[in-house]
Structure 1
C-alpha cells in the first residue's frame, strides 16, 4: 500500500511538472519555481527526481515508448488496416497527452546529447515501422521518398493543434483522419497512376459523414 501511494504521488508530481514545463518552457523553469509549483522545498525535489533534465527526458521517452509499443497491439488485419489502427492510436494519444507531445517537439534541444540520441532512436524506430507498413500496403517510390513522407507525417501528428471549441473530440479526430487519408494516398500510389479523386482505400470516416 505504501509503495502504491508513493507511486501515485510521484505520478502526480510528474504531471504537475509536465504542465509547468509546457506552459512556461523548460528552460524558463528553475528548480526553485518547480519546487514551489509542486508544493515542496527545493532540496526535496532530489528525493523524487535525479535532475530537471532527467525528468524532461523521462517524460519524452515515455511518450515515444508508448508510440513504439502501439504496433505490437495492432498485429491483426491487413497492412492497410494495421496502419489505420496505428495512426488512430497516435491521434488518440495526442488527445490524451498534448503537453507531452509539445515537450517532445519543442524541448528536445534541452536534453543532453546522450538523451537526445535515445529519443531520436525511438522516433526513428517508430517511423521505420510506419514505412514497413506502407510498403506492405503497396507503397511505391524510393525508400528515401517514403521515409521523408513518414517523417513529415509524424512531425505533423506530433504538432496537432489544440482542441477546437467548435468541434467535438470525435469530429476533430475525423478531420485529422481525412487529412491523413489524402496524405497517405499520395504515398501509397503515385498521382500519375491514380484515378482522379481516388484516395487510399482505408476505412476511416470522412468528416461530416453520418
Structure 2
C-alpha cells in the first residue's frame, strides 16, 4: 500500500521570535473554546481574552478563525492517516485490528478534536470542506482495503456503507462517552464492542478484533493507496 497523500496545513507559521509553546497554547485554548461554545458562538476576542492577549495578536499565528478551525479538524485526519502508516505491518488481521485500535486510542487522546471535527465541520469554507472530505475518503478507503484483505467478501456497496458507518460512529463516540460518565477503560471497552460487532456483519471468519464475530464475503475494492 502506497503512502497517503500529504496535505498542506493552511495556517500562518508562528513567527520565529514567538515560542512554540505560545502557538500551541493558542491552538489548545481555541480547541477548548470551539468544543465548549461552538464555532459560531466563539470569537477571536474571547479567545484572546482567555489567553491574556489582544485579539489582533492572534493573527500573528492564524489568518482567520476559520483557518484555525480547519487546522484543528485537519489534524484529526492527519493523525488517522499516520495511524494507517504505523499499522501497516503484520498479516491482514493484524493490520485491520491495529488500525481500528489506533483509531480508538485517538478517540481518547484527541477527544476534543473529534468533537469539533464532527460538530463544527459545517462552518468550514467549501474549499476546506472538500479537503477534509478527501482526507476522510482516503482513510475510509484504507480501512476498506484492510477489510477486504482480512477476508470480507460481501458486495462492495455494503462494505463501503459499513466502513462509512463505522468511521462515523467512532468519530461521534467521544461526545456520547463524555455524557455517559464512563472511565477510560470502560469507554474503550464499549467502543470496541460497538465497532467489532458492526464488522461482524461483513466478515465470515473469526473477528481479529474481539475473537468471536462472524464476517461475510465481498469482491473488488477501491483503496486510497
- When normalised by structure 2's length, the TM-score is 0.81
Q: Give the Å deviation of 1:185.
A: 1.1
Deviation, 1:81, is: 1.6
The 5-angstrom pairing of residues 199-210 of structure 1 reads 200-204=206-210
Gaps of 5+ in 1: 190-198
Question: Over the residues paired in the alignment, what is the CA RMSD in angstroms?
Answer: 2.0
1:74–1:86 Cα contact (<8 Å) kept? yes
Q: Please, which of 36, 39, 48 is the counterpart of residue 52 of structure 2?
A: 39
Checking the alignment, whether the CA contact within 8 Å between 1:83 and 1:134 is kept in structure 2 is yes
The separation in 2 between residues aligned to 1:4 and 1:73, in whole angstroms, is 34
1:12 is aligned to 25
Partner of 1:195: none
Answer yes or no: is 1:62 the counterpart of 2:75.
yes
Native 8 Å contact 2:159 2:202 kept in 1 = yes
Distance in 2 between residues matched to 1:201 and 1:43, nearest whole Å: 54
Unaligned runs of 5+ in 2: 1-14, 213-225
Alignment partner, residue 184 of structure 2:
169
Residue 118, structure 1, aligned to residue 134, structure 2: no
State how many pairs are aligned. 195
| 1:158-207: CA deviation from partner (whole Å, max 9, x where unpaired) | 01123444x43223212221222211111113xxxxxxxxx74325379x
Alpha-carbon distance in 1 for matches of 2:31, 2:72: 8
TM-score, structure 1 normalization:
0.86
The CA deviation string for residues 1-48 of structure 1, in whole angstroms up to 9 with x for no partner, is: x95971121111100110001000001112221221222111111112
